[in-house]
Amino acid sequence: MSISLKKNSAWHARRGPVVLVIMDGVGYGKFASGDAVADADMRHFRGMEASCPSTRLKAHGKAVGLPSDDDMGNSEVGHNAIGCGRVFAQGAKLVSASIQTGAMFSGATWKALVAKLGVAKLGVAKLGGQDSANALHFIGLFSDGNVHSHIDHLKAMITRAKADGVRKVRVHVLLDGRDVGEQSALEYLEPFEAFLAGLSGGGFDYRVASGGGRQYMTMDRYGADWSMVERGWKAHVLGVGARFKSAKEAILHYRQEKPSLIDQDMREFVVEEDGKPIGEIRDGDSVVYFNFRGDRALEMTAAFEDDDFDHFDRVRRPKVMYAGMMEYDGDLHVPSAYLVSPPSIDRTAGEYLAGSGVPMLAISETQKFGHVTYFYNGNRQGKFDDTLEDYVEIKSDLVPFEQRPWMKTAEITDAVIAAIESGKYRFIRLNYPNGDMVGHTGVYQAVVCSLEAMDLQLGRLKLAVKKAGGILLLSADHGNSDDMYEHDKKTGDVTVKPDGEPRAKTSHSLNPVPCVVYDPEYAGEYRPELREGLGISSLAATCIEMLGFEAPEGYDPSVLQPAR
């Protein structure tokens, strides 16, 4: 049953479409040093910012449903907020609550994971029945970045596994260096291995078995590079890859080979003992993918679960009990088992606009295509109305982002301008990934270049929107390129590497993001001063009002203030 919007009789209909531009990873930095947004020649953006109604929006922490304001925003929760118009409790918060209340461990999935291993009874008092060859495996992003995962969730599950009598645990770590410090792997690994050692002994064997960088293996998304998943499968499942006596030895080895190597790009490692890998995944084992965010978990999930799988040769597919931390795709119900239910997001802007007969276009390149579709629509696959909606994916380049920092901005813009000129659409939403994807590389020159390339396209969009008599709304889903250097938390000074160069920061920022309204046929319906103190969830009501409708009940307020 479709839902529709009430028309606003006081709104003067524009000739052209409303175009929502998500400048991914573009915020307002608080440090002069390392703010690539401030350093870039973004004359088109600056010109609109100076001459048009503008404000700043919150894009992190509680404003997007995360546990605290110390938590950086990300593209997934950001697009959820932008598309649904309200703030929902998101993955990290839901998982933490499930662990704290014990709901995770009393659920059917956790019990099935333990039962698969043959543990006769819960509790360490009676350990009989578990075959020593059976292991509980954990695969996921190994940090406390709280964007895809959190190491505290992993530790809580491992602690509970021992309480439930699981004798053998193997952890397959995907090094971060992106949502946390670029060479911080040992800061997480060394205390974690001490934690595992403290749980081992007396019949228990808990160890790190394999790993590598998140941008090198396992965590691909949107089918951009299945070879990453294959490398992860070989290391985690088959025990195939460079062998080391420990994870620490592997990290030190790779850093000695290339001192500037960022953790996210670390090559694979397999921990061996007596010449054999210690953590192959075999029949009878249980596996938990402990990322709570779905986009970089779906492909490895498919490798474990899909019968008809042709992306690479799995060699063997072990018969295991597999579970995700959350349901990664609510429409396809993937994975088949999961530990925590995701937020139930309804009444999205896309659904309302489709129900109101608004023709729409969603477009980006591969890296962010799912964000302007799946995440914008409240973690929903597919369209609300095939006759009203068009989705366009521009294929991303398969090269490191710092080598093509302009990415596909020109191609996206070509398609959007053609769409504007066609007169077919009333609402167009697009994502320029540059500030985020290039920002994650830590290569400052490339980030500045990426932003200037994007700005050139903003200039083209402005002219097309003016000609068509539409509205251009510029914003972002979170900050990143506005905070490219690590700073001392107490003094604010830039931290430097031994060679004296600034230490790159590759994670998202906690900074506010722009909201600029370019409305060349403004008819006085709203005040030139936009509301302040709002979050990016207010963009949904803003777009709905610009299209001549009243925002739905319960939506966070629009940035537009009614004219006096």
What residues does 535 pair with on adjacent strands?
58
- The helix (H) or strand (E) run that includes residue 265 is none
Please report where in the chains the tokens 């790779």 appear, as a residue. Answer: 254
| CA-to-CA separations, 337 to 92, 110, 222, 320, 340, in angstroms, rounded | 18, 9, 21, 12, 9
Burial code of 312-347, b = ≥16 C-beta within 10 A, e = fewer?
eebeebbebbbbbbbbbbbeeebbebbbbebbebeb
Q: Which long-range contacts (CB under 8 A, 24 or more apart) does 192-199 make?
A: 192/142, 192/151, 192/155, 193/246, 193/247, 193/248, 195/155, 195/158, 196/158, 196/169, 196/171, 199/158, 199/159, 199/162, 199/169
Q: Are strands 321-326 and 338-340 parallel, antiparallel or unpaired?
A: parallel
Q: How many CB atoms lie within 10 A of CB 500?
A: 6
75 given a catalytic annotation: yes
Cβ burial of 50 (10 Å; 0-12, 13-18, 19+) is exposed
Q: Are 206 and 137 in contact (CB under 8 A)?
A: no
Cα 527 to Cα 251: distance, rounded to the nearest angstrom:
57
What residues does 502 pair with on adjacent strands?
496
* Given 2, 54, 75, 286, the catalytic residue: 75
Active site (catalytic) residues: 75
